């Protein structure tokens, strides 16, 4: 069986949905598990719904209506009439959102987040499944919440591999086209959980591992894995083949093409990963597999925008020792603040972090009692794999470099533009 993952950009409108159908017609679909993200910016829209709900804002109904109207337009463009059963199916999902918000008693933001935001994937796959049937492409819609079981770490759930593998292996018919949701699962009480932002790639890898799949293909709007993000670099090079190890390094440092957790289960069973273009699906793209890289000398550039640089210094000029660092990291772990770079001297300690849960201010309030804490907002973290001086000069030009860290294969720069 082959696992195909299509992200939100590939199904952002009716033309995108039609293109996914066309891609499947070109590359075959009889033995495919299709993992699909929420459409376009739906996740952002549902995040706003959760925010408005906890604010008790009168704009809550407007936030829900915007998401609903966005999907309604896509359905009208696909089916041209509201007589198709998909309209009732999707309206039921939006009724489920209303029900969740009306009966919820939990003050846990992350719990409610997972219950609401996950509906983006449920709705997108419902639309795709109905459209494919409408076009004569028979398929099996699968609710991934019945298969991927996790703990109760809402918004960043940990997979129960033993139970998940048993459920997937015993449930999925590998000889037909299956359509399921990325990003989501359920806890032991069947409450919905999510696997972290951009977690649909990880979902594809979970299914591949549990089904001993032939391959995983991530369909993107780029021809494959590039050595740099074309949004930030004018000249890019396609990497035809890279090893699992190199791909893991790139993902760890923040390369957006592959989700960091995706590669380990694939490597464990040596399942190849392809990154291909949904615009030109017959091009070979990039292959990630066991073996040597074909292009180890090419410098690869990774950019993480809008990071925070946090500097800790002792108030009495004493050394920053292991117990100090341990205390800092205990709080970072508690607040789920991801650290991307660490640098320390005798009396200071600096970290560059991604604050996706908006917890840095709370961290500051706690640790500023013991340390002098300085936070520099809106910095960019540049990572260069297989660097040379020309690559460093290219990134550093016209920027104020706050931190520079060099290892054998990698250089990282924290910069203000």
Summarised one tens digit per residue, pLDDT across range 105-129 is 999 999 999 999 999 999 999 999 9
| Structure confidence at residue 32 (pLDDT) | 97
Output the pLDDT for position 256: 72
Residue 193's SS3 state is: strand
* The pLDDT of residue 294 is above 60: no
Distance, in Å, from the CA atom of 58 to the CA atom of 405, rounded to the nearest integer, reads 48
Average pLDDT over residues 202-212: 97
Q: Which positions ≥6 away from 149 have C-beta within 8 Å? A: 159, 160, 163, 164, 167, 185, 186, 187, 188
pLDDT at 278 over 90: yes
pLDDT category at 292 given cuts 50, 70, 90 is low
Looking at residue 261, what is its pLDDT? 86
Lookup: tokens for 82 = 């509201």
Which residue would you say has higher pLDDT here, 325 or 291? Answer: 325
Please report the domains of the chain, with CATH numbers, ordered by start residue.
2-213 (3.40.1160.10), 300-416 (3.30.2130.10)
Residues ≥6 apart with Cβ < 8 Å to 209 = 165, 265, 266, 268, 269, 271
pLDDT score for 249: 87
Q: Which residue has the higher pLDDT, 69 or 317?
A: 69
Position 248 scores a pLDDT of: 86
C-alpha distances (whole Å) from 217 to each of 4, 19, 99, 212 are 5, 16, 36, 14
For a pLDDT cut of 70, what percent of the chain falls above it? 98
Which pTM was predicted? 0.86
């Amino acid at each position: 069986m082959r696992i195909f993952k299509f992200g939100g950009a590939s199904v952002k409108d009716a033309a995108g949905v039609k293109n996914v159908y066309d891609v499947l017609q070109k590359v075959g679909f009889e033995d495919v598990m299709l993992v699909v993200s929420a459409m376009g910016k739906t996740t952002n829209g549902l995040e706003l719904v959760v925010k408005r709900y906890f604010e008790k804002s009168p704009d809550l109904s407007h936030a829900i209506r915007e998401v609903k109207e966005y999907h309604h337009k896509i359905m009208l463009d696909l089916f041209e009439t509201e007589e198709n059963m998909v309209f009732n199916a999707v309206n039921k999902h939006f009724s489920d959102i209303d029900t969740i918000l009306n009966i919820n008693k939990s003050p846990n933001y992350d719990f409610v987040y997972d219950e609401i935001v996950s509906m983006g994937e449920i709705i997108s796959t419902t639309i795709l499944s109905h459209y494919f049937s409408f076009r004569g492409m028979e398929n099996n819609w699968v609710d991934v919440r019945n298969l991927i079981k996790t703990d109760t770490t809402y918004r960043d759930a940990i997979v129960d591999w033993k139970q998940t593998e048993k459920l997937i292996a015993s449930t999925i018919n590998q000889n037909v086209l299956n359509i399921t949701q990325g990003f989501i699962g359920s806890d032991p009480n069947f409450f919905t959980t999510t696997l972290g932002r951009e977690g649909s790639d990880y979902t594809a890898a979970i299914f591949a591992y549990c089904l001993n799949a032939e391959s995983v293909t991530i369909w993107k709007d780029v021809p494959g894995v590039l050595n740099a993000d074309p949004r930030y670099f004018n000249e890019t090079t396609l990497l035809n083949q890279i090893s699992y190890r190199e791909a893991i390094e790139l993902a760890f440092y923040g390369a957006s093409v592959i989700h960091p957790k995706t590669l380990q289960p694939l490597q464990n069973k040596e399942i190849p990963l392809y990154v291909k273009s949904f615009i030109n699906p017959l091009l070979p793209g990039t292959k990630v597999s066991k073996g040597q890289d074909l292009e180890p000398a090419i410098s690869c550039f990774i950019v993480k925008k809008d990071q925070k640089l946090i500097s800790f210094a002792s108030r009495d000029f004493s050394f920053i020792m292991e117990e100090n660092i341990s205390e800092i990291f205990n709080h970072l772990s508690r607040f789920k603040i991801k650290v991307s770079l660490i640098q320390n001297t005798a009396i200071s300690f600096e970290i560059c972090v991604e604050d996706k849960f908006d917890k840095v201010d709370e961290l500051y309030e706690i640790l500023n009692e013991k340390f002098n804490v300085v936070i520099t907002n809106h910095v960019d973290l540049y990572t260069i794999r297989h660097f040379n001086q020309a690559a460093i000069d290219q990134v550093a030009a016209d920027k104020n470099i706050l931190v520079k860290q060099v290892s054998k294969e990698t250089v990282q720069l924290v910069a203000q533009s």
